[in-house]
Structure 1
């Protein structure tokens, strides 16, 4: 029997840990999913169970290698960001994988920003809003001052994708998609590590930078597969679009957060944009990706519960409400009459719907249309932040809201001069991680049919 050449991709999220095998046409031929019970760090804070994750990687690969139908040509990794594994001289983790939501000490934060030019100046240089532990470089700074003995023992601080790669290759590298994403480590104005990284002795703890599309040999003798250096998941999800589309576009990736990514906007982040939670990701070729975000998926979850409870309906009903342009037109006319005198709040912080009286709506369907209208108003305010300064003709939406007919039709109405598409692709992050190392394992040309697009035409006039 002829074996199927495959690439193995570990896609590690906060909740689900997945392994996919893709064939040369990027079809999933095998998948496995795992969940681990979290453990706690020395302060009792929940964190990833690093040992369970390590064992799972080896166990999963052992299962795959036992399967006679597959020939593993390469392995790569994508994981959530802002998470470091600190290893010693022997490559063993020195401490827990601290949770990026762990509260950051105010005094230490003040000390850091006071030393390095203040929050506004520093944030502009590093394209990183002030996010505490979510700025992963701040975790290293904290270790240096709170646990100096442990800091001394660190041979390398590896972001989680690079640690998983190290387990298989035995080689240590840093990757620009992890280093360049709201870490406080990278100076976007100079294209190198920020001066504090050198001054605080942090740079010597960071492994050499390797190109995100590079591979190294496996550490185990007798194996011929290549091992990628790993990618930050948000950057990986953008790769299929960069491979398939060369005209300027914005990708709105929708989940708990709605993140607008513009790889074609090279204007530096302004103070005002940083205040509104804009940041820069780094794409796998090393170019900055301007991004804005708001908590849209979370807001949807909360408000759908509120609507369902008020109208005594099941929340599941709102997964497939058809778009009714007449309801939208009526709601917009009514809103104009009421809200002319009232100043609008900052649309990014919260949708207006949270303050609306549900008893003013004739039905739950009308209330839901109003909510999505308010939500898309937020979406437009957020996306506009990254659209400025670039000539974008297309907007792609992937994730949960790409399947919401009301959201998609309204978004198209707000952008009549652009082409708006719902994009669907199974496992975008995992496919992007495989595409990054395509030339090292796949004999076929890059695919151009892995993203399904549905075009949304403008159906009525919109106004904000």
Structure 2
């Protein structure tokens, strides 16, 4: 029996899963994703990641036959390489997108970046617009930038390390980068004006087989020379693609949760997107634009807990949530440092947080934010929750009560990103469709009234039935 090996590089954690022919994970490893604060700027620990990957692959290959590798990573990251420059190939370190030093180039860069109507990429803080990262690196390190032969999106960098083959792929190119025009399915005017087109390798679909692992990788890991490597995909799009396959042409929304909570709404026109609310278009694996909204759900959940003096794993139930609603205690954005629908606001707690209610307040906050973004998108049809928030059933039940006019489904596996990435290996065959189950709703009193008061506190009232 052959197995698929999936590398999942998230912003906070890195994971390795080995899936059998039924899609079951038979081997997994996980580790924190480190950012190095050393010169020349905060950057990802690429060598540490690479050695961790090789060790995990070696361990998996000792126990199971591995026939294919597919890769998924977070967005807003690219590798500047010289393909003739040795194993790692890096001309400059892979920059951490949270580094605010990039903003020193804002006045120059903002004169060059395309209109929102071209890229559907809003102005984001720090390095969340990948084009801003690249422009800043070129300005700060011109000699190094001049040695670059290829700009590789993050999944494709790891694929290149494994195969020696360079490529680009649309889900990472179209992820609020300023580099891609979703409606023309081509590079944006920014790429043309800066004369960067030649630095981006050929664009291939995420299911394209780049080749087999290099012989030296086989020697290091025990992988067979026949082990195929695929181009890879942006992580939120990996979660999304299985639902696209199973929902046919019906409108639906996938909420992919982790460090970021990203809402991807199929069947929604792009004309309603508000760039000032961190709304944007992503591009799915087939090249189709998808209306999206987002906030740093995992990061903000932890920040609210900390502000309330609670551990993130503090246990709570309906009683604690009801206490908060009855007392009118609220968490008001923003707790992310400038992302999401309320950038520039200072997050605050309003009212007294009763003992044992800190995690309940964080859950209530995140559920209200998700509900708000669903309304902003005018999301229709079923809602599917993927990722980290599945570990918080009370939060999911809160959202289910808030969205009583829609069906809310919970992914029945906690490896949705991995499963979606694995689907690329057998693209054109039977897609590994998501397993979902209905989530129970909370039965909290006066939740709708509390929601109205919360939105009024933001100065963003929407019509809500009492």
1:415 is displaced (CA, Å) by 2.3
Residues 41 and 96 of structure 1 are in contact (CA less than 8 Å); yes or no, is this contact kept in structure 2? no
Of 320, 330, 352, which aligns to 1:358?
352
Partner of 2:459: none
**Other-structure match for 1:446:** 431
Partner of 1:342: none
The corresponding residue for 1:24 is 21
**The residue matched to 2:419 in structure 1 has which SS?**
helix
Q: Whose Rg is larger?
A: 1
Distance 2:397 2:53 in 1: 42
Q: Tell me which of 38, 52, 55 is aligned to 2:51.
A: 55
Greater shift, 220-229 or 275-284, is seen at 220-229
Q: Is the alpha carbon distance of 1:41 and 1:326 closer, same or farther for their aligned partners in structure 2, counting shifts above 3 Å? A: closer
Q: CA deviation at 1:295?
A: 3.3
1:348, 1:382 within 8 Å by CA — same for their partners in 2?
A: no
For residues 211-258 of structure 1, give each alpha carbon's deviation from its aligned partner in whole angstroms, at most 9, with x where no partner exists.
112112215367222210111112112223223333321122233333
Cα distance, 1:303–1:33 mapped onto 2, change above 3 Å: closer
1:223 is aligned, of 217, 222, 225, to: 225
Quote the residue 1:413 is aligned against.
401
8 A Cα contact 1:6 1:21, kept in partner: yes
> Where does residue 298 of structure 2 map in the other structure?
297
Question: 2:117 aligned with 1:124, yes or no?
Answer: yes
Q: Secondary structure at the match of 1:434?
A: helix
Deviation, 1:90, is: 0.8
Compute the TM-score of the two structures, normalised by the length of structure 2. 0.80
Q: How far has the Cα of 1:329 moved from its partner?
A: 7.5
Q: Tell me the equivalent position of 1:341.
A: none
Q: What is the CA–CA distance in structure 1 between the aligned matches of 2:31 and 2:362, rounded to whole Å?
A: 35
The answer to whether 1:188 aligns with 2:182 is yes
Distance in 2 (CA, whole Å) between partners of 1:50 and 1:408 is: 35
CA contact (8 A) 2:213 2:228 kept: no
What do residues 343-378 of structure 1 show as CA deviations (whole Å, max 9, x unaligned)? xxx98469999332217x6x645x766664454333
CA distance in 2, matches of 1:196, 1:357: 47
The corresponding residue for 2:258 is 255
- For the residue of structure 2 that corresponds to 1:86, the secondary structure is strand
Q: Give the RMSD, CA atoms, in angstroms.
A: 3.2
For 1:262 and 1:248, the matched residues in 2 are separated by 7
Judged with a 3 Å threshold, the aligned counterparts in structure 2 of structure 1 residues 179 and 325 are, in CA distance, closer, same or farther, namely: closer
Which runs of no fewer than 5 residues in structure 1 stay unpaired?
336-345
Q: 2-side partners of 1:60 and 1:228: how far apart?
A: 18
Whether contact under 8 Å (1:161, 1:231) holds in the other structure is yes
Contact 1:412/1:456 (8 A) holds in 2: yes
User: 1:429 pairs with 414, 417, 437, which one?
Assistant: 417
Residues 64/200 of structure 1: CA separation in 2 closer, same or farther (3 Å cut): same
Could you state the TM-score of these two structures normalised by the residue count of structure 1? 0.81
Question: Equivalent residue of 2:348, what SS?
Answer: helix
Aligned CA distance change for structure 1 residues 13 and 105 (closer, same or farther; 3 Å):
closer
Distance apart, 1:175 and its partner CA: 0.6
Aligned residue in 1 for 2:166? 172
For the 8 Å contact 1:170–1:218, the answer to whether it is kept is no
How many residues align structurally?
Answer: 426
Deviation at 1:400, TM superposition (A): 3.8
1:98 lines up with 2:95 in the alignment: yes
Q: Distance in 1 between matches of 2:17 and 2:307?
A: 37
Structure 1 residue matching 2:146: 3-state secondary structure: helix
User: In structure 1, what is the Cα distance between the partners aligned to 2:15 and 2:362?
Assistant: 34
1:159 and 1:348 map into 2 onto residues whose CA distance is 28
Q: Give 5+ residue unaligned stretches, structure 2.
A: 216-223, 331-339, 453-466
Counterpart in 2 of 1:84?
78
Compute the displacement of 1:279 (Å): 1.7
Query: Does the aligned pair in 1 maintain the 2:278–2:341 contact within 8 Å?
Result: no
CA contact (8 A) 1:124 1:274 kept: no
Change (3 A) 1:374 1:75: closer
* CA distance 1:371–1:351, shift in 2 (3 Å): farther
Mapped partners of 2:133, 2:322: distance in 1: 52
Instruction: Please give the residue correspondences for 1:325-344 in structure 2 after superposition, counting only pairs within 5 Å.
Output: 330=326
